[in-house]
């Protein structure tokens, strides 16, 4: 088993890659053994904002070029696909939004950056997994086909931070189904899984144990919470009180 670490966000979320000694049924080439990520920027507050309620400006090609010039090798592009799907059963992603995502992915790749592309802020599936699984599968079916011809340094993260009611066997079933869908058109692409309870380091073991050599595991590490989330206004009453530095013996 080879363990590889890389920063996935500026708030010190870490990526952990595990390789398996047993070959999966599809026998993909074990490209994850050469996984290369050292410095990654999370492209937040843009494509994962709610539909019609932007949190900031959209990114441009020049932003990705500046990130590459600053010494970073990877960007993580979080996307709130679920806010831009049509009705059942196809749940078609709105083409204008899909093209906006396309532009960001291509700008990043053309700048020489690796890309982590995910499903982000799918809040409905966290609350009601049973009734949202079909939409989740449809989203990944579309993403998988849309980007299947892009270079192998585009990586798929199945779902950001499962939480609330999406956990246990139901979460692992979701992960397994996403892998099966992605593998139809992307037999060797790296796939990232994050466990339950917000993908914390303590819940890393809740992930699906996959024999696919190109499945990797990510955990988000925000300890001590009172340091990393001070002044995080989106937490409301749960925001840590006061200000503090880093470096106690408990830390």
Percent pLDDT > 70 in the chain is 89
Residue 30 pLDDT: 85
Mean pLDDT of 87-98: 97
Dump the DSSP string for the chain. Answer: ---EEEE-STT-EEEEE---SSPPTT----GGGG---S-EEE--SSTTSPTT--SSPPP-HHHHHHHHHTT--EEEE---GGGGB-STTT-PBPHHHHHHHHHHHHHHHHTT-EEEEE----HHHHH-HHHHHHHHHHHHHHHHHHTTTS-TTEEEE--S---TT--HHHHHHHHHHHHHHHHHH-SS--EEEE-HHHHBGGGGGGS-----TTEEEEEE---SHHHHTTT-GGGGGGSPPS---S--S--
Residue 230: CA atoms inside 13 Å, Cβ hemisphere, count? Answer: 9
The answer to whether the pTM exceeds 0.85 is yes
Q: Tell me the average pLDDT across 241-251.
A: 83
Question: Is the predicted pLDDT of residue 18 greater than 70, yes or no?
Answer: no
Question: What pLDDT was estimated at residue 31?
Answer: 86
> Confidence class of residue 19 from pLDDT cuts 50, 70 and 90?
very low
pLDDT value, residue 27: 65
Report whether 156 contacts 189 (CB < 8 A): yes
pLDDT band for position 17 (50/70/90)?
A: very low
Tokens of 17: 């890659």
- Least trusted range by pLDDT, from 19-33, 98-112, 231-245: 19-33
- Closest by CA to 155, choosing from 21, 8, 47, 10, is 8
Predicted local distance difference test score (pLDDT) of residue 9: 34
For residues 177-181, average pLDDT? 98
The percent of residues above 90 in pLDDT, for the chain, comes to 75
pLDDT at 23 over 80: no
Is the pLDDT reported for residue 96 higher than 60? Answer: yes
Average pLDDT over residues 189-216: 96
What's the pLDDT band for 34 if we cut at 50, 70, 90?
confident
Residue 245: pLDDT band by 50, 70, 90 thresholds? confident
pLDDT band at residue 12, thresholds of 50, 70 and 90?
very low
Distance CA 55, CA 170 (A): 31
pLDDT of residue 6: 35
Q: What is the mean pLDDT of the chain?
A: 89
Q: How confident is the model at residue 26 (pLDDT cuts 50, 70, 90)?
A: low
Q: Is the pLDDT of residue 56 over 60?
A: yes
Give whole-number Cα distances, 78 to 143, 202, 209, 248, in Å: 13, 23, 24, 33
Residue in the structure block whose two tokens are 């396309």: 102
- The answer to whether the CB of 15 falls within 8 A of the CB of 5 is yes
Indicate if the pLDDT at residue 174 is higher than 50: yes
């Amino acid at each position: 088993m080879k363990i590889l670490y890389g920063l996935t966000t500026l708030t010190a979320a870490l990526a952990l890659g595990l390789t398996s000694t047993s070959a999966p049924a599809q026998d993909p080439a074990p490209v994850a053994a050469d996984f290369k990520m050292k410095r990654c920027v999370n492209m937040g507050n843009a494509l994962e904002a709610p539909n019609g309620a932007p949190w900031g400006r959209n990114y441009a090609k020049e932003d990705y070029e500046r990130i590459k010039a600053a010494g970073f090798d990877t960007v993580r592009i979080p996307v709130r696909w679920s806010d831009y799907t049509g009705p059942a059963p196809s749940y078609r992603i709105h083409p204008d939004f899909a093209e906006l995502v396309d532009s960001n992915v291509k700008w990043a790749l053309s700048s020489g950056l690796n890309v982590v592309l995910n499903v982000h802020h799918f809040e409905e599936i966290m609350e009601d997994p049973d009734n949202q699984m079909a939409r989740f599968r449809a989203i990944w079916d579309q993403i998988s086909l849309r980007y299947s011809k892009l270079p192998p340094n585009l990586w798929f993260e199945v779902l950001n931070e499962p939480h609330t009611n999406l956990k246990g066997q139901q979460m692992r079933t979701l992960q397994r189904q996403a892998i099966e869908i992605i593998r139809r058109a992307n037999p060797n692409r790296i796939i990232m899984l994050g466990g339950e309870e917000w993908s914390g380091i303590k819940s890393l073991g809740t992930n699906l144990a996959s024999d696919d050599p190109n499945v990797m595991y990510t955990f988000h590490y925000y300890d001590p919470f009172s340091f990393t989330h001070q002044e995080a206004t989106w937490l409301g009453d749960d925001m840590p009180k006061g200000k503090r530095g880093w470096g106690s013996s408990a830390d």
